[in-house]
């Protein structure tokens, strides 16, 4: 059996190696390392894949979120609502910009932000909502867009984990995750569903004005070279990463299908188990399974992890501590017990190996070892 990894980028690379290597060599020969035709080509291909008017490439997913908030001219004191059960990047940029993070709880079944909790958290200072499409499926965007419209708020989608997912909007249209709100952000970190071989990110929008502002902010706040109208940042995607991403973009739907197949296998193996609760698939969104994350009940999580590791099976905990309980984000507004769903999830989630190269033999081994421990 092939070695089991959380993410197997090596096996994936072997299948696209000739094409990737050829493109990298081409860039080395051209020396167009930054902002050349390769970045432009990938940008155009991603725009057409996503069905979005503008893609603005940038340095990474965290930058994408920061640039989005800067381009919307959010100011210190403005409140930004996001979920407490997520990766830190979202809250980090809110804090760095001097904005006020307002945390809310999530849905226990989908792990995504709870729109009713968002509604309750709105104050006259609220300016934006940042739903994170956690683990690969979209947050309830219809409800969130409705709330945003009623209260005149921006919606910035953190689509770092759900690129390629599709959402059935109430108006009957199907849209790609990250293209429903005012601005969408993504990451091309190597382990993401569309991963580079280094850092990368992108920002999406259908709005020409926002696009213009986003392009100014990522480029040192300048529209005309060496004339700086705004305080900006330097955030770029390099040509080698863009070329690799362009090769992988052509496989993205097939990659999502492989992930879904692995998830189906897990779902079936663990169905109706009293100690295991498989992740719910939200009927309005396709799931691209950035992670296969389930919850356990009456099982010692550390012991399970040790047992699986001893059999060569990696297992991760995404995420062990919700944002409001992180030391760096201590805030008198929040205390332990305030977000019971997130706290319960943080204590009971496990993530199993999930990538495009899992084969049936590996899946059989992983599920049988999980069940062996759980049933003992």
Binding site for ligand PLP (CB under 6 A): 60-62, 86-87, 89-90, 132, 158, 160-161, 187, 189, 201
Choice between 159 and 219, CB closer to ligand PLP: 159
Please, what is the minimum distance in Å from the beta carbon of residue 353 to ligand PLP?
Answer: 17
- Taking CA atoms, 172 is separated from 52, 112, 169, 262, 284, in Å, by 17, 22, 6, 29, 11
Please, what is the minimum distance in Å from the beta carbon of residue 179 to ligand PLP?
Answer: 17
Q: CA-CA distance, 364 to 85, in Å (whole number)? A: 30
Choice between 160 and 247, CB closer to ligand PLP: 160
Q: Are 95 and 101 in contact (CB under 8 A)?
A: yes
Please, what is the minimum distance in Å from the beta carbon of residue 225 to ligand PLP?
Answer: 27
Choice between 219 and 241, CB closer to ligand PLP: 241
Please, what is the minimum distance in Å from the beta carbon of residue 162 to ligand PLP?
Answer: 9
Choice between 67 and 216, CB closer to ligand PLP: 67
Choice between 57 and 61, CB closer to ligand PLP: 61
Q: Are 38 and 239 in contact (CB under 8 A)?
A: yes
- Residue 134: DSSP 8-state: G
Q: CA-CA distance, 137 to 176, in Å (whole number)? A: 11
Choice between 138 and 370, CB closer to ligand PLP: 138
Q: CA-CA distance, 176 to 171, in Å (whole number)? A: 14
Q: Are 20 and 247 in contact (CB under 8 A)?
A: yes
Q: How much of the chain is helix, strand and coil, in % rounded to 5?
A: 40, 20, 40
The phi, psi pair for 157, rounded to 5°, reads -85, 130
- Displacement of CA 200 from its chain's centroid (Å): 13
Please, what is the minimum distance in Å from the beta carbon of residue 286 to ligand PLP?
Answer: 18
Choice between 111 and 307, CB closer to ligand PLP: 111
Q: Are 206 and 54 in contact (CB under 8 A)?
A: yes
Please, what is the minimum distance in Å from the beta carbon of residue 88 to ligand PLP?
Answer: 8
Please, what is the minimum distance in Å from the beta carbon of residue 145 to ligand PLP?
Answer: 19
Specify the pairing of strand 154-158 against strand 183-187.
parallel
Q: CA-CA distance, 366 to 368, in Å (whole number)? A: 6
């Amino acid at each position: 059996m092939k070695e089991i990894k959380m993410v197997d980028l090596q096996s994936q690379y072997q299948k696209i190696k000739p094409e990737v290597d050829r493109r990298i060599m081409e860039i080395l020969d051209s020396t167009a390392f930054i902002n050349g035709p390769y970045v432009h080509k990938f940008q155009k291909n991603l725009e057409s894949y996503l069905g979005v008017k503008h893609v603005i490439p940038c340095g990474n997913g965290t930058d994408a979120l920061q640039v989005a908030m800067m381009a919307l001219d959010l100011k210190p004191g403005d409140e930004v609502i996001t979920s407490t059960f997520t990766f830190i990047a979202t809250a980090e940029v809110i804090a760095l910009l001097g904005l006020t993070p307002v945390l809310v709880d999530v849905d226990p079944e989908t792990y995504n932000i709870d729109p009713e909790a968002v509604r309750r958290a709105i104050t006259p200072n609220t300016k934006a909502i940042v739903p994170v499409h956690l683990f690969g499926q979209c947050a309830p965007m219809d409800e969130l867009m409705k709330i945003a419209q009623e209260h005149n708020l921006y919606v910035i989608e953190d689509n770092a984990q759900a690129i390629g997912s599709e959402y059935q909007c109430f108006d009957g249209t199907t849209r790609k995750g990250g293209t429903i709100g005012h601005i969408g952000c993504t990451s091309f970190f190597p382990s993401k569903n569309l991963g580079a071989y280094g850092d990368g990110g992108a920002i999406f929008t259908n709005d020409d004005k926002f696009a213009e502002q986003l392009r100014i902010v990522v480029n040192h706040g300048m529209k005309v070279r060496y004339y700086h109208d705004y305080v900006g940042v330097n955030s770029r995607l390099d040509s080698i990463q863009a070329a690799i991403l362009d090769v992988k973009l052509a496989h993205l739907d097939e990659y999502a299908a492989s992930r879904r197949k692995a998830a189906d296998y897990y779902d079936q193996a663990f169905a109706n188990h009293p100690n295991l609760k498989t992740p719910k698939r939200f009927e309005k969104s396709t799931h691209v399974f950035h992670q296969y994350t389930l919850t356990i009940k009456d099982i010692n999580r550390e012991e399970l992890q040790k047992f699986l590791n001893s059999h060569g099976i990696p297992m991760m905990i995404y995420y062990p501590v919700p944002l409001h309980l992180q030391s760096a984000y201590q805030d008198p507004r929040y205390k332990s017990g305030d977000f019971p769903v997130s706290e319960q999830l943080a204590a009971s989630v496990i993530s199993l190996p999930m990538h495009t190269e899992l084969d049936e033999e590996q899946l059989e081994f992983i599920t049988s070892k999980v069940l062996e421990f759980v049933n003992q």
